[in-house]
Amino acid sequence: MVVYAAEQAVAIAAVRRACTLTTAVFNNLVKGETLVKGDKSPVTVADLSAQAVVNTILLHAFPSDPIVGEEDAADLRENKVLCARVIELANEVLSVPPSELAEEKASWGLGEHRSEGEVLQAIDRGNYEGGRAGRMWTLDPIDGTKGFLRGGQYAVCLALINDGRVELGVIGCPNLPLDPAIPDGPAGALFVATRGRGAFQYPLSTVVGSKIPPVSLRMPSLPFENLSFLESVEKAHAALDTNAKIAQLLGVKCEPVRMDSQAKYAALARGDSSGGVYLRLPANTEYREKIWDHAPGSLLVEEAGGIISDAFGKPLDFGAGRFLGKHYGVVGAGKEIHQKLLEGVQQILKEEGKLA
């Protein structure tokens, strides 16, 4: 089993720095600092500069590793004002010298100022096409951009994939309560999973984190009636009516919990709201899921003792390129109930005429 200790340290530092940036931007986001992409989804200066930060650190630490990142710099090259803002934001974070508390190293490219060309090139290093062979990173600099914009849940998500298999996942959730039992308590949680070595939560802030040891995550084993469905906020992202029918069939009593981003996977792995089920069935079957939207979250849940598959029980395929392989939906739950959940999902899909 490969340990990936160096990769884990770099990925944690990169995600922490990116979260510092996104938190600062949220508090100062100016109208007009958001663009609408070709697929009508939003992208902000925070998504772009967070991608610049993570990719710059990866470039220094692992220069030959390719990166499948969500964003690219094409729109910035056309927009001087936003471009200047992204360069400024990325530098505010990258130029801070390595922190001993966070066990960072200068060789990760920290403590230096970057030129416009370097920042744009770093963003565009996310253009790798992915695939089945070799080692690559996948990055979603802000997963749940809509959640970020409304002050809700979002996540900075980074994963290492080798030969199509997710080996390491790091997720920073700046707005997620550190202790799910105290929803109004301190927020900011960092989730780390390495294949075969478990899933852990750390405080996102190193100042707080320097004194608190990581918590090992184990999903609770509970009957359906005690569980909550973890669902998307956006109706366009998942068939929420279908979820409601499946919940009723399985005897789920609790109201669904809706939140943006892979924070849902973190809440599932951690057993928030006394346990959950992840259900993301397509509202539009034309939509193909992207690898960066599921890579670290799925490993986190598996390492916490759960199973993630599509609606037919097939494991998610991260080796098919920038998109996930051919799948219908994403279904996640504890080992003991996953099969029963699949049966419920398939029965309702059949009743709705969605299965051939």
Ligand X SMILES: Nc1ncnc2c1ncn2[C@@H]1O[C@H](COP(=O)(O)OS(=O)(=O)O)[C@@H](OP(=O)(O)O)[C@H]1O
Active site residues: 47, 145
Q: Which does 28 bind (CB under 5 to 8 A by kind): Mg ion, ligand X, none?
A: none
Could you give the string, one character per residue 262-281, with x where binding to ligand X holds by CB under 6 A and - elsewhere?
--------------------
Single out the segment in contact with ligand X by CB under 6 A; choices: 108-116, 168-176, 200-208, 287-295.
287-295
Helix extents (H) in the chain = 5-28, 45-61, 74-77, 80-94, 116-124, 145-149, 206-209, 240-250, 263-270, 295-303, 335-351
Closer Cβ to ligand X, 8 or 51, answer by number: 51
User: Exposed, middle or buried: residue 328 (CB in 10 Å: 0-12, 13-18, 19+)?
Assistant: middle
Q: Which does 284 bind (CB under 5 to 8 A by kind): ligand X, Mg ion, none?
A: ligand X
Question: Applying CB under 6 A, does 65 fall inside the site for ligand X?
Answer: no
136-165 residues near ligand X, rule: CB under 6 A:
140, 142-147
The CA R_g of the chain, rounded to the nearest whole Å, is: 19
Give the one residue of 231, 293, 302, 303 binding Mg ion; rule: CB under 5 A.
293
Query: Helix, strand, or coil here: 338?
Result: helix
Angle between helix 5-28 and 80-94 (nearest 10): 130
Question: Applying CB under 6 A, does 64 fall inside the site for ligand X?
Answer: no
Question: Applying CB under 6 A, does 175 fall inside the site for ligand X?
Answer: no
Question: Taking the complex as a whole, how short is the minimal distance between the CB of residue 197 and Mg ion, in angstroms?
Answer: 25
Could you give the string, one character per residue 16-55, with x where binding to Mg ion holds by CB under 5 A and - elsewhere?
-------------------------x--------------
Give the one residue of 72, 124, 143, 303 binding Mg ion; rule: CB under 5 A.
143
Nearest CA among 171, 127, 180, 152 for reference residue 322: 127
Both structure tokens of 268: 């599932």
Between CA 151 and CA 124 the distance in angstroms is 27
Residue 329: count of CB within 10 angstroms of its CB: 20
314-343 residues near Mg ion, rule: CB under 5 A:
none
Closer Cβ to Mg ion, 41 or 107, answer by number: 41
Q: Which does 109 bind (CB under 5 to 8 A by kind): Mg ion, ligand X, none?
A: none
Tokens 């130029």 identify what position? Answer: 95
Give the one residue of 139, 233, 281, 295 binding ligand X; rule: CB under 6 A.
233
Nearest CA among 339, 231, 312, 242 for reference residue 284: 242
Between CA 180 and CA 39 the distance in angstroms is 34
Question: Applying CB under 5 A, does 118 fall inside the site for Mg ion?
Answer: no
Q: Which does 72 bind (CB under 5 to 8 A by kind): Mg ion, ligand X, none?
A: none
Between CA 213 and CA 208 the distance in angstroms is 10
Question: Applying CB under 6 A, does 41 fall inside the site for ligand X?
Answer: yes
Question: Applying CB under 5 A, does 72 fall inside the site for Mg ion?
Answer: no
Between CA 84 and CA 98 the distance in angstroms is 24
Residue partners of 255: CB distance under 8 A and separation at least 6: 228
Single out the segment in contact with Mg ion by CB under 5 A; choices: 67-75, 166-174, 214-222, 327-335.
67-75
Q: Which does 167 bind (CB under 5 to 8 A by kind): Mg ion, ligand X, none?
A: none
Closest residue by beta carbon to Mg ion: 143
**H helix count then E strand count, the chain:** 11, 14
Tokens 């080796």 identify what position? Answer: 319
Between CA 235 and CA 239 the distance in angstroms is 7
Give the one residue of 97, 183, 287, 351 binding ligand X; rule: CB under 6 A.
287
Closer Cβ to Mg ion, 332 or 334, answer by number: 332
Query: Which residues contribute to the site for Mg ion (CB under 5 A)?
Result: 41, 70, 140, 142-143, 145, 293
Query: Which residues contribute to the site for ligand X (CB under 6 A)?
Result: 41, 70, 140, 142-147, 232-234, 236-237, 260-261, 284, 287, 290, 293
